[in-house]
Amino acid sequence: MQRSPKAQAWSASLALIVAMLWLGAAPLSAAPSVSDPFTAPLDVRRQEAALLPAFSADLNAAEQWDRYTVIARVDPEKRTISGRLRLEYANRAADPLDRIYFYLFPNLPEFGGRLDIHSATVDDVAVRVRYESKRFLLRIDLPASLPSGASTAVVLDFSAAAPLDAGQRYYAAFNRERGVLALASALPMAARHVEGAWQLATPLFRGDLVTGDTALYDVTLTIPAAWIAVTTGTAIESQNDGAVQTTRFVSGPQRDFTIVLTRFPSISAEVDGTRITSYFRPENPEGGRAALDAAVNALRVFNRRFGPYPLTELDIVQIDARKFLGVEYPGLIMIDRRLYAGERAGLEIIVAHEVAHQWWYSMVGNDVQNEAWLDEGLTSFTQVVYQEELRGAAAAAREIDGFRATYLRARQTGRDAPLKRPVSALRGNYTAIAYAKGALFFQALRVRIGEPAFDRFLRDYYAAFRYRIASSDDVRAVAENACACDLNDFYRDWVLTAAPVAVP
Catalytic option among 177, 237, 328, 354:
354
CA pair distance 14, 79, nearest whole angstrom? 28
Per-residue pLDDT, 10? 32
**Is there a catalytic annotation at residue 435?**
yes
Sheet containing 274-279: give its strands across: 2-3, 324-329, 332-336, 313-319, 274-279, 266-271
Q: Shortest CA distance to 3 belongs to which of 176, 185, 178, 171?
A: 171
State yes or no: 193 annotated in a binding site: no
Per-residue pLDDT, 344? 74
CA pair distance 353, 350, nearest whole angstrom? 5
**Is there a catalytic annotation at residue 389?**
no
CA pair distance 234, 247, nearest whole angstrom? 10
- CATH architecture for the domain at 15-259: Sandwich (2.60)
CA pair distance 457, 68, nearest whole angstrom? 33
Q: Report pLDDT digits (tens) over 222-264.
A: 999 999 999 999 999 999 999 999 999 999 999 999 999 999 9
Domain 15-259 shares a fold with domain 373-496: no
Q: Shortest CA distance to 209 belongs to which of 185, 175, 241?
A: 185
CA distances from 426 to 272, 415, 429 (A): 39, 9, 6
Full 3-state SS string of 156-224: EEEEEECCECCCCCCCCCEEEECCEEEECCCCCEECCEECCEECCCCCCCCCCCCCCCCEEEEEEEEEE
Sort strands 151-161 and 2-3 into parallel, antiparallel or unpaired: unpaired
Q: State the CATH class of domain 266-356.
A: mainly alpha
Per-residue pLDDT, 25? 37
CA distances from 1 to 324, 421, 447 (A): 8, 18, 27
Q: State the CATH class of domain 373-496.
A: mainly alpha
State yes or no: 480 annotated in a binding site: no
Domain segments of the chain as ranges: 15-259, 266-356, 373-496
- CB contact at 8 A, 193 and 273: no
Buried b (16+ CB within 10 A) or exposed e, 238-258: bbeeeebbbbbbbbbbbbbbb
pTM confidence score: 0.92
CA pair distance 279, 296, nearest whole angstrom? 14
State yes or no: 270 annotated in a binding site: no
- CB contact at 8 A, 362 and 462: no
Q: What is the CA radius of gyration of the chain?
A: 22
Catalytic option among 279, 435, 467, 491:
435
- CB contact at 8 A, 363 and 310: yes
Q: Give the pLDDT means over successive 10-residue stretches in the chain (504 positions).
A: 45 36 34 43 96 98 97 97 98 97 98 98 97 98 97 97 95 95 98 96 92 97 97 95 95 98 98 98 96 98 98 97 93 96 86 98 97 98 98 97 98 97 96 98 98 98 98 98 98 97 96
CA pair distance 419, 434, nearest whole angstrom? 7
